[in-house]
Amino acid sequence: MGNRPHIISLIFGSLALVGMLYTPWLVLVETGIEAQMGLAQKIFYYHVPSAWMMYLGFFICFIYSVLYLWKRKRKYDIYASCAAEVGLLFCVLVLLSGPLWAKPVWNAWWVWDAQLTIMVVMFLLFVAYMMLKAYSEESIQNARFRAVLAIIGFMNAPLIHYAVQLWRTHHPTVMREGGGGLPPDMKFALYMCALVWLCLFIAIFSRRVSLERAREEIAYLQAEVRDRRAILGQMAE
Protein backbone atom coordinates (compact mmCIF):
# COMPACT_ATOMS: atom_id res chain seq x y z
CA MET A 1 0.00 0.00 0.00
CA GLY A 2 2.79 2.40 0.89
CA ASN A 3 4.62 1.80 -2.44
CA ARG A 4 1.52 2.32 -4.58
CA PRO A 5 2.03 6.08 -5.23
CA HIS A 6 5.67 5.40 -6.17
CA ILE A 7 4.65 2.67 -8.64
CA ILE A 8 1.94 4.88 -10.16
CA SER A 9 4.45 7.70 -10.51
CA LEU A 10 6.95 5.40 -12.24
CA ILE A 11 4.41 4.02 -14.71
CA PHE A 12 2.84 7.33 -15.70
CA GLY A 13 6.19 9.10 -15.66
CA SER A 14 7.50 6.59 -18.21
CA LEU A 15 4.40 7.08 -20.38
CA ALA A 16 4.83 10.85 -20.16
CA LEU A 17 8.49 10.58 -21.19
CA VAL A 18 7.62 8.52 -24.26
CA GLY A 19 4.85 10.95 -25.13
CA MET A 20 7.11 13.99 -24.76
CA LEU A 21 9.52 12.41 -27.25
CA TYR A 22 6.71 11.82 -29.78
CA THR A 23 4.44 14.87 -29.51
CA PRO A 24 7.00 17.49 -30.70
CA TRP A 25 7.29 15.56 -33.97
CA LEU A 26 3.51 15.24 -34.16
CA VAL A 27 2.97 18.96 -33.54
CA LEU A 28 5.79 20.39 -35.65
CA VAL A 29 5.87 17.98 -38.59
CA GLU A 30 2.69 15.93 -38.93
CA THR A 31 0.18 18.65 -38.04
CA GLY A 32 -0.77 21.34 -40.53
CA ILE A 33 0.02 25.04 -40.11
CA GLU A 34 -2.93 27.27 -39.18
CA ALA A 35 -3.68 29.80 -41.93
CA GLN A 36 -4.02 32.99 -39.85
CA MET A 37 -1.62 32.50 -36.93
CA GLY A 38 1.04 30.45 -38.69
CA LEU A 39 3.71 28.66 -36.66
CA ALA A 40 2.79 30.59 -33.49
CA GLN A 41 -0.36 28.48 -33.29
CA LYS A 42 1.79 25.43 -32.51
CA ILE A 43 2.14 26.69 -28.92
CA PHE A 44 -1.61 26.08 -28.62
CA TYR A 45 -1.01 22.30 -28.35
CA TYR A 46 0.88 22.77 -25.08
CA HIS A 47 -0.80 25.93 -23.80
CA VAL A 48 -4.33 24.51 -23.74
CA PRO A 49 -3.45 21.11 -22.16
CA SER A 50 -1.46 23.02 -19.52
CA ALA A 51 -4.60 25.00 -18.74
CA TRP A 52 -6.63 21.78 -18.49
CA MET A 53 -4.11 20.25 -16.07
CA MET A 54 -4.12 23.49 -14.07
CA TYR A 55 -7.91 23.21 -13.73
CA LEU A 56 -7.56 19.53 -12.75
CA GLY A 57 -4.99 20.28 -10.05
CA PHE A 58 -6.98 23.11 -8.54
CA PHE A 59 -10.20 21.06 -8.77
CA ILE A 60 -8.59 18.17 -6.85
CA CYS A 61 -7.32 20.70 -4.30
CA PHE A 62 -10.84 22.12 -4.05
CA ILE A 63 -12.42 18.69 -3.47
CA TYR A 64 -9.93 17.63 -0.81
CA SER A 65 -10.12 21.03 0.87
CA VAL A 66 -13.88 20.61 1.22
CA LEU A 67 -13.34 17.08 2.55
CA TYR A 68 -10.78 18.35 5.04
CA LEU A 69 -13.12 21.01 6.40
CA TRP A 70 -15.83 18.35 6.69
CA LYS A 71 -13.89 15.32 7.99
CA ARG A 72 -10.83 17.00 9.61
CA LYS A 73 -8.54 14.21 8.40
CA ARG A 74 -4.88 15.00 7.85
CA LYS A 75 -4.63 12.92 4.65
CA TYR A 76 -7.10 15.22 2.90
CA ASP A 77 -4.90 18.22 3.67
CA ILE A 78 -1.92 16.34 2.21
CA TYR A 79 -3.79 15.52 -1.02
CA ALA A 80 -5.07 19.10 -1.29
CA SER A 81 -1.64 20.69 -0.82
CA CYS A 82 0.02 18.31 -3.32
CA ALA A 83 -2.71 18.99 -5.90
CA ALA A 84 -2.32 22.75 -5.36
CA GLU A 85 1.41 22.46 -5.95
CA VAL A 86 1.03 20.52 -9.20
CA GLY A 87 -1.82 22.76 -10.36
CA LEU A 88 0.36 25.79 -9.71
CA LEU A 89 3.15 24.23 -11.78
CA PHE A 90 0.86 23.93 -14.80
CA CYS A 91 -0.52 27.40 -14.10
CA VAL A 92 3.01 28.76 -14.49
CA LEU A 93 3.31 26.88 -17.80
CA VAL A 94 0.10 28.56 -18.96
CA LEU A 95 1.37 31.99 -17.96
CA LEU A 96 4.70 31.39 -19.72
CA SER A 97 3.37 29.83 -22.92
CA GLY A 98 0.55 32.38 -23.30
CA PRO A 99 2.81 35.40 -23.95
CA LEU A 100 4.94 33.35 -26.38
CA TRP A 101 1.77 32.81 -28.41
CA ALA A 102 0.38 36.31 -27.87
CA LYS A 103 3.41 38.31 -29.05
CA PRO A 104 3.34 37.27 -32.73
CA VAL A 105 -0.48 37.08 -32.84
CA TRP A 106 -1.55 40.14 -30.78
CA ASN A 107 1.75 42.05 -31.13
CA ALA A 108 1.84 42.26 -27.32
CA TRP A 109 3.24 39.97 -24.64
CA TRP A 110 0.32 40.61 -22.30
CA VAL A 111 -3.12 42.23 -22.45
CA TRP A 112 -5.10 42.96 -19.30
CA ASP A 113 -8.43 41.61 -20.48
CA ALA A 114 -10.95 39.93 -18.16
CA GLN A 115 -9.69 36.38 -18.69
CA LEU A 116 -6.03 37.12 -18.08
CA THR A 117 -6.75 39.32 -15.07
CA ILE A 118 -8.84 36.62 -13.36
CA MET A 119 -6.11 34.12 -14.22
CA VAL A 120 -3.53 36.22 -12.38
CA VAL A 121 -5.86 36.53 -9.39
CA MET A 122 -6.22 32.73 -9.17
CA PHE A 123 -2.46 32.29 -9.57
CA LEU A 124 -1.76 34.71 -6.70
CA LEU A 125 -4.32 33.01 -4.44
CA PHE A 126 -2.66 29.63 -4.88
CA VAL A 127 0.79 31.19 -4.47
CA ALA A 128 -0.49 32.52 -1.14
CA TYR A 129 -1.76 28.99 -0.37
CA MET A 130 1.70 27.50 -0.94
CA MET A 131 3.43 30.29 1.01
CA LEU A 132 1.17 29.63 3.99
CA LYS A 133 2.14 25.96 3.89
CA ALA A 134 5.86 26.63 3.45
CA TYR A 135 6.41 29.51 5.87
CA SER A 136 3.75 29.09 8.56
CA GLU A 137 3.72 26.65 11.44
CA GLU A 138 1.81 23.47 10.71
CA SER A 139 -1.42 23.55 12.68
CA ILE A 140 -5.10 22.72 12.36
CA GLN A 141 -5.91 26.42 12.07
CA ASN A 142 -3.37 26.85 9.27
CA ALA A 143 -4.77 23.87 7.36
CA ARG A 144 -8.32 25.20 7.72
CA PHE A 145 -7.32 28.62 6.45
CA ARG A 146 -5.54 27.09 3.46
CA ALA A 147 -8.60 24.97 2.69
CA VAL A 148 -10.81 28.06 2.64
CA LEU A 149 -8.26 29.88 0.45
CA ALA A 150 -8.22 26.96 -2.00
CA ILE A 151 -12.01 26.96 -2.25
CA ILE A 152 -12.04 30.71 -2.93
CA GLY A 153 -9.23 30.34 -5.46
CA PHE A 154 -10.98 27.61 -7.42
CA MET A 155 -14.12 29.74 -7.70
CA ASN A 156 -12.20 31.74 -10.32
CA ALA A 157 -11.82 28.71 -12.63
CA PRO A 158 -15.33 28.83 -14.20
CA LEU A 159 -14.94 32.58 -14.77
CA ILE A 160 -11.62 32.02 -16.55
CA HIS A 161 -12.99 29.20 -18.69
CA TYR A 162 -16.14 31.02 -19.82
CA ALA A 163 -14.64 34.52 -20.00
CA VAL A 164 -14.76 34.40 -23.82
CA GLN A 165 -18.56 34.02 -23.68
CA LEU A 166 -19.12 36.38 -20.74
CA TRP A 167 -16.83 39.24 -21.80
CA ARG A 168 -15.02 40.51 -24.85
CA THR A 169 -11.53 38.99 -24.71
CA HIS A 170 -8.64 38.40 -27.10
CA HIS A 171 -8.64 34.60 -26.87
CA PRO A 172 -10.02 32.63 -29.85
CA THR A 173 -13.31 30.86 -29.12
CA VAL A 174 -11.86 27.52 -30.30
CA MET A 175 -9.62 27.52 -27.22
CA ARG A 176 -12.72 27.29 -25.06
CA GLU A 177 -14.34 24.62 -27.22
CA GLY A 178 -11.76 21.94 -26.43
CA GLY A 179 -10.61 21.92 -30.05
CA GLY A 180 -14.13 21.38 -31.38
CA GLY A 181 -13.53 23.75 -34.31
CA LEU A 182 -10.16 22.26 -35.34
CA PRO A 183 -9.37 20.08 -38.36
CA PRO A 184 -8.89 16.35 -37.54
CA ASP A 185 -5.07 16.46 -37.57
CA MET A 186 -4.95 19.44 -35.20
CA LYS A 187 -7.58 17.94 -32.94
CA PHE A 188 -5.63 14.66 -32.73
CA ALA A 189 -2.42 16.53 -31.85
CA LEU A 190 -4.23 18.53 -29.17
CA TYR A 191 -5.69 15.45 -27.52
CA MET A 192 -2.40 13.56 -27.71
CA CYS A 193 -0.60 16.44 -25.98
CA ALA A 194 -3.37 16.56 -23.38
CA LEU A 195 -2.98 12.81 -22.75
CA VAL A 196 0.78 13.19 -22.30
CA TRP A 197 0.28 16.13 -19.93
CA LEU A 198 -2.27 14.06 -17.98
CA CYS A 199 0.28 11.26 -17.55
CA LEU A 200 2.81 13.84 -16.38
CA PHE A 201 0.27 15.30 -13.95
CA ILE A 202 -0.49 11.88 -12.45
CA ALA A 203 3.23 11.05 -12.17
CA ILE A 204 4.11 14.30 -10.39
CA PHE A 205 1.05 14.25 -8.14
CA SER A 206 1.65 10.63 -7.10
CA ARG A 207 5.30 11.32 -6.34
CA ARG A 208 4.43 14.41 -4.28
CA VAL A 209 1.87 12.44 -2.26
CA SER A 210 4.44 9.70 -1.69
CA LEU A 211 7.08 12.19 -0.51
CA GLU A 212 4.63 14.02 1.73
CA ARG A 213 3.51 10.77 3.36
CA ALA A 214 7.15 9.80 3.93
CA ARG A 215 7.79 13.19 5.51
CA GLU A 216 4.80 12.68 7.81
CA GLU A 217 6.06 9.24 8.86
CA ILE A 218 9.54 10.60 9.59
CA ALA A 219 8.07 13.45 11.66
CA TYR A 220 5.97 10.93 13.59
CA LEU A 221 8.97 8.68 14.28
CA GLN A 222 11.05 11.67 15.41
CA ALA A 223 8.29 12.72 17.81
CA GLU A 224 8.06 9.16 19.13
CA VAL A 225 11.83 9.04 19.73
CA ARG A 226 11.70 12.36 21.60
CA ASP A 227 8.85 11.09 23.78
CA ARG A 228 10.73 7.89 24.63
CA ARG A 229 13.87 9.82 25.48
CA ALA A 230 11.85 12.09 27.73
CA ILE A 231 10.32 9.07 29.49
CA LEU A 232 13.74 7.40 29.92
CA GLY A 233 15.15 10.67 31.27
CA GLN A 234 12.37 10.89 33.85
CA MET A 235 12.93 7.24 34.89
CA ALA A 236 16.67 7.86 35.25
CA GLU A 237 16.02 10.74 37.62
pLDDT tens-digit readout, 33-70 = 776 777 777 888 898 999 999 999 999 999 999 999 99
Rounded Cα distance between 21 and 35, Å, is 26
Q: What residues does each domain of the chain span?
A: 4-236
On the question of pLDDT at 175 being above 80, the answer is no
What tens digit of pLDDT does each residue of 113-152 get?
777 888 888 999 999 999 988 877 777 788 899 999 999 9
Fold annotation for 4-236: Four Helix Bundle (Hemerythrin (Met), subunit A) (1.20.120)
On the question of pLDDT at 75 being above 80, the answer is yes
With cut-offs at 50, 70 and 90, classify the pLDDT of residue 181.
low
On the question of pLDDT at 1 being above 50, the answer is no
Question: If you average pLDDT over residues 181-206, what whole number do you get?
Answer: 90
With cut-offs at 50, 70 and 90, classify the pLDDT of residue 166.
low
With cut-offs at 50, 70 and 90, classify the pLDDT of residue 220.
low
Ramachandran region of residue 34, left (φ > 0), alpha (ψ -120 to 50) or beta?
beta
Rounded Cα distance between 136 and 127, Å, is 14
- In this predicted structure, what is the pLDDT of residue 190? 92
Collapse the DSSP code of 61 into the 3-class scheme (helix H, G, I; strand E, B; otherwise coil) and give the result: helix
Q: In 10 A of CB 58, how many CB atoms?
A: 27
Check: CB of residue 31 under 8 Å from CB of residue 22: no
Rounded Cα distance between 46 and 40, Å, is 12
Rounded Cα distance between 150 and 144, Å, is 10
